[in-house]
Structure 1
Amino acid sequence: MSHVRDHESVKIIERCQVSPPQNSIPTTSIPISFLDIPWLYISPIQRIFFHEFPFPTQTFLQTLIPKLKHSLSITLQHFIPFASNLVYPPKPHFPYFLYQDGDSIPFTIAESTTNFDHLISDSPKHVTDLHPFVPTLFSPHTSEDGTRYIPLMAIQVTILPNNGFALCVSFHHVVGDGRAFHHFMKFWSSLCSKNGDSTSLEASVPLPFHNRDIIQDPKGLLKLKMMENMWNSPTPSKEFAVVYTDMVRATFVLNPDQIERLKKWVIAKCSNSDHFKTLHISTFVVTSSLIWVCFVRSEEIIGYDVPNDDELYHLIFLADCRNHHEVSIPSTYFGNCLGYRTVTMKRSELVGNNAIVEAVRAIECQVRDVQSDPFKGLDTMTPEHEGRVVSGHGVVIASSPKQGVYETNFGSGKPKMTEVVHIDSSKSIAFSDCRDNEGGVEVGLALGRIQMNNFTSIMKKYLSDITNLNH
């Protein structure tokens, strides 16, 4: 074991590799589907889970760490792509996932003196407070013929003595979407809580479905066209620079009662319009409308340049298309199965008196559109897509309340908090289910401290006004 102090609040206890059980998997090659291609150059996903475990470090090392490693090894046997490399050969060959016996993922064990209650609180904390808990993915390497081999996952478990632990996973989106990742996490945590006994596990957490040939190219040449877009676009050499000075992250909880009141308020506002009467006012539609409007309005900071009212703002959301009636992809499919849509509105509409209702109309229209044609527009996605969102007036809704992130129990109870770490560098807003309110929504976002204060005040005012109008 090595004892190296990497950060003032984190001490590395051990760095090791975890692989599937030896000789349990033959050499396996899995092709990418056209639904994986848009995510080839996206920056790594980083999700952290904070769990309570009120024991000293030595107890943790002797009890839970061996279970975590053993259950992870068995889990990787079933979720092969995470233990694989993405093999990216030169044009005209397509990338694919390759597992060879002995392939493994880096697993880091650390210890931190950071205050546990501070880490799991909803209130604003500096974004860099979470960075020491994030594992680093191994760098890609390139063979003589120009083929790149890209490792896909890394895990770090950080012990917070006598309080709990932080388990953070970094992975490349190209290997799978949020639904696939949380399937992996629930399988691993369930196996760990059963001390590695998988005999009764499948009834509660089914095995993943790996056959990517089930993804049918609706236009025949879509996969080739999308890869041509990638080949013809400049490969990002590194992640864009982010300045974290005075940037904070916070979690906002909308409980079921607030969501229902918001729906009723929107329906009442729309009652005199025949067009609005046909709208499906879902939890996602009203929540994303409220958050987007508050986000845009919070930019009005004294001394800052505020865009003019005709400037266009964009909200990008992703939709899980498993079990869609046109594609018939099973819920256990492991890979990417996402449609996406961009909602575009003028700033004047998002700061006007009827802003939330106008946002509801625009977002609901795109939700219906993705339901009718889930994969429309995928062939236009390129590596520059994320860059345009980050640099312009765009924001992405990441994750979903339907993923059940609080169902991840390693034997010490459900998480006390879970967060999407990379929202501080990707201009994203994270939605998840609620740890304490079934049917509620947790919203995580990262902003400058002044803008965060503005956002908080604006959102509280909206929720207060809507509550009063419903009485």
Structure 2
Amino acid sequence: MNCNNNTLTVIDGCQVAPPPGSVPATTLPLTFFDIPWFCCLVPVQRIFFYEFHHPTNHFLQTALPSLKHSLSLTLQHFFPFAANLIVPPQPHLSHFRYLPGDSLPFTVAESTADFPLLTSDSPQDVRNWHPLVPTLPSPRVEPDGTRAFPLMAIQVTVLPNSGFTISLTFNHLAGDGKSLHHFIKFWASLCKARGETPLSLPSHERDKVKDPKGLKLLYLQELENHDSNMMEIASVAPHVFVNKVRSTFVLSREQVERLKKWVSLKYCANNDSGASPHISTFVVTCSLVWVCMIRSEESKGNSDDELCYVVFLADCRDSPEFSLPSTYFGNCLASCIVGMKRSVVVGENGIIEVAKTIERRVRDLKSDVLTRAETLMSDYGELWKPGKSVVVVAGSPKLTMYQTDFGWGKPKKTDAVHIDAGKMISLSDCRDKDGGIEVGLALDKSQMNNFNNILEEQLNITVCE
């Protein structure tokens, strides 16, 4: 389960930039969708594993040149990832700045780790993946005190005669999951086709982001109350990862449909209004996993009246309030915080009650994606205080991560690495089961065992009842 004793050797460290002269000096303003991510100190990390049954030299001679060249061409259109976040002294506003010659760090390494273990769904030490993931460079301080923060780093690691990984670390201020996966798929398509890609170009028209509630000014004012060093990327203490394992749970289409039917029947049986709820795959998956996570926690004197929270995000590019193109590059996410008493979540009808609440909040977002947006910054400030029980949902099956083919087939595995830094779950499409869903988790060993047993028991209930 642990491959920490394996060695990683850095073969090359370089910078990859857009083709010379392809991108002029450009500045992009932050929108109100971006600003709350100033409070996110842990960078987003995504890893892709690909099978490649050849020695390292063969990879370096055949695959690597295509990966680097197509990345350069991709950055011509997705230049913010090669740019910097500029944080000048107040009262000047932060913004993104690209200057000709800007680039992102690109590391090439070789690892002796066990590829089948790394790509297994079974529990493994969370530290197994850490050497394969790059770190963001430290910010540069300019003479006037302005800080320039790099936004992305990429690492390609060869596991000889087995496979290779492509891993990306980036600052969430640069964009959301949809922007990231547009970039990755564009890069993959160029690499595979060795030329043009059928994918659409990103849209950088930030002036089209409407702000009917004046949220940008409100959020900027609230940011002034935070520590001036809040943008420094936090390093997670090593002891956080001791005895922690990650695992992937796969729910097939049949299991999801059975769960949806079970929840709908229970919901309607206890609902006198006769309303017909829309119990989606997202609703039942989040409800099932959150309930199993809370139930799997070791008893530590938690109060039944204690509030437990689950946080999820929704893409709102196509919402009537904005009507942005699907290719809009940046953040365009509505946040939703659901709080429920622990006694309700772990109760006999916990999944049903949770599903009711999440479904209701999803409906609220559909009618007004900016509902409660005015208090978002203060709500997050309260949420991250010590002692709070908070689970964050990352990713989405709609991002079709397993459709990222650089020319060597679909990934053997892909997941969000940063979920091991806190209480998070990752959701994605399935590699081998059409219509299924993959759930990534990182928990203490004992809790992971409990979770596995509780999940299996709960899924059996939906079959028997």
Report the 3-state secondary structure (helix = DSSP H, G, I; strand = E; otherwise coil) of the residue aligned with 2:39: coil
Quote the Cα distance in structure 1 between the aligned partners of 2:126 and 2:385. Answer: 17
**SS of the counterpart of 2:241?**
coil
1:185 aligns with 2:180: no
1:294 and 2:292 correspond: yes
- Of residues 202, 220, 225 in structure 2, which corresponds to 1:227? 220
Counterparts of 1:12-411 in structure 2, within 5 Å, are: 12-42=10-40, 43-195=42-194, 197-198=195-196, 201-202=197-198, 205-219=199-213, 221-234=214-227, 235-236=229-230, 238-239=234-235, 241=237, 243-272=240-269, 273-275=271-273, 277-299=275-297, 301=298, 304-382=299-377, 385=380, 388-389=383-384, 391=386, 392-411=388-407
Distance 1:59 1:104 in 2: 26
For residues 445 and 274 of structure 2, the distance between their equivalents in structure 1, rounded to whole angstroms, comes to: 37
Q: Deviations over 1:46-86 (max 9, x none)?
A: 00000111111111000000000000000000001101001
Amino acid at match of 1:267: S
**Partners of 2:429 and 2:438 within 8 A in 1:** yes
Q: Which amino acid aligns with 1:244?
A: F
2:82–2:152: 8 Å Cα contact kept in structure 1? yes
1:35-54: CA deviations, max 9, x gaps?
11111231210000001111
Contact 1:157/1:166, CA 8 A, preserved across alignment: yes
In structure 2, how many angstroms separate the alpha carbons of the residues matched to 1:383 and 1:101?
38
1:57–1:162 Cα contact (<8 Å) kept: yes
- Paired amino acid for 1:39: W
| CA positional deviation for 1:174 | 0.4
Compare 375-384 and 316-325 and name the one that shifted more: 375-384
Find runs of 4+ consecutive structure 1 residues off by over 6 angstroms: none
Mean Cα displacement is larger for which, 377-386 or 209-218? 377-386
Q: Structure 1: how far apart are the matches of 2:133 and 2:236?
A: 18
Per-residue Cα deviation, 1:438-470 (whole angstroms, up to 9, x for no partner): 21110001000000000000000011111122x
Q: Which amino acid aligns with 2:33?
A: L
Q: Which amino acid aligns with 1:403?
A: L
What is the identity, as a one-letter code, of the residue corresponding to 1:329?
L
Structure 2 unaligned residues grouped into runs of 5+: none
Identity %: 51
CA distance in 2, matches of 1:215, 1:99: 21
Do 1:405 and 1:433's aligned partners in 2 also have CA atoms closer than 8 Å?
A: yes
Contact 2:210 2:321 in 1 (8 A): no
Aligned AA (1:312): L
Q: Which amino acid aligns with 1:35?
A: F
Deviates more, 1:272-281 or 1:385-394: 385-394
Q: Please give the root-mean-square deviation of Cα atoms over the aligned residues, in Å.
A: 1.7
Taking the aligned partners of 2:329 and 2:349, their CA distance within structure 1 comes to: 41
Q: Which residue of 2 aligns with 1:3?
A: none
The SS at the match of 1:269 is: helix
Cα drift, residue 34 of structure 1:
0.9
Mapped contact 1:79–1:208 kept (Cα < 8 A): yes
Q: Aligned partners of 2:129 and 2:436: how far apart in 1?
A: 24
Contact 1:56/1:162 (CA < 8 Å) preserved in 2?
yes
* Equivalent position of 1:441 in the other structure: 437
Secondary structure at the aligned position of 2:31 is classed as: coil
- How many pairs were matched up? 455
Once residues 276 and 36 of structure 2 are traced to their aligned partners in structure 1, the CA distance between those partners, rounded to angstroms, is: 33
- Matched-pair contact (CA < 8 Å) for 1:91–1:231: no
Distance 1:240 1:163 in 2: 30
Local SS of the residue matching 2:240: coil
- Do the aligned residues in 1 keep the contact of 2:268 with 2:276 (CA within 8 Å)? no
Please state how far the C-alpha of 1:276 moved relative to its aligned partner: 6.4
Which letter maps to 2:419? I
Partner of 1:10: 8
- Contact preservation (8 Å) 2:6, 2:113: no
The alignment partner of 1:40 has SS state of helix
Q: For structure 1, which segment, 222-231 or 411-420, has the greater mean C-alpha deviation from structure 2 after superposition? A: 222-231
Q: In 1, distance between residues paired with 2:112 and 2:202? A: 37
Aligned to 1:456: 452
Distance in 2 between residues matched to 1:394 and 1:410, nearest whole Å: 36
CA contact (8 A) 2:17 2:72 kept: yes
Contact 2:121-2:248 at 8 Å conserved across structures: yes
1:339 to partner: Cα distance: 0.1
Q: TM-score normalized by structure 1?
A: 0.94
Instruction: Please report how far the alpha carbon of residue 239 of structure 1 lies from its aligned counterpart in structure 2 after TM superposition.
Output: 4.1
Q: How far apart in 2 are the matches of 1:286 and 1:401?
A: 14
Contact 1:226 1:380 in 2 (8 A): no
* Alpha-carbon distance in structure 1 between the residues aligned to 2:357 and 2:82: 41
Q: Deviations over 1:126-171 (max 9, x none)?
A: 0100000010111002223221100000000000111110110000
Give the Cα–Cα distance (whole angstroms) in 2 for the partners of residues 260 and 422 of structure 1. Answer: 29
Give the TM-score normalised by the residue count of structure 2.
0.95
Match of 2:414 in 1: 418
Residue-by-residue CA offset, 1:409-451 (whole Å, 9 max, x unaligned): 0100000100100001132110111111121110001000000
Q: Is the 8 A contact 2:126 2:246 kept in 1?
A: yes
Give 1:383 deviation, angstroms.
8.8
Q: Verify the 8 A CA contact 2:134 2:169 in the aligned structure 1.
A: yes
Superposition deviation, residue 387 in structure 1: 8.1
Change (3 A) 1:240 1:108: closer
Deviation at 1:176, TM superposition (A): 0.4
Distance in 2, matches of 1:185 and 1:331, equals: 15
Contact kept, 8 Å, 1:84 with 1:100, in 2: the verdict is yes
Deviations 1:1-27 (A, max 9, x none): xxxxx9852111000110000111111
Q: CA distance change for structure 1 residues 193 and 383 in 2, over 3 Å: closer, same or farther? A: farther
Q: Does the aligned pair in 2 maintain the 1:46–1:170 contact within 8 Å?
A: yes
Task: Kindly indicate whether the alpha-carbon contact (under 8 Å) linking 2:253 and 2:435 is maintained by their aligned counterparts in 1.
Answer: yes
Q: Which runs of 5+ in 1 are unaligned?
A: 1-5
Distance of 1:33 and 1:76 partners within structure 2:
22
Change (3 A) 1:414 1:336: same
Q: Alignment partner of 1:223: what SS?
A: helix
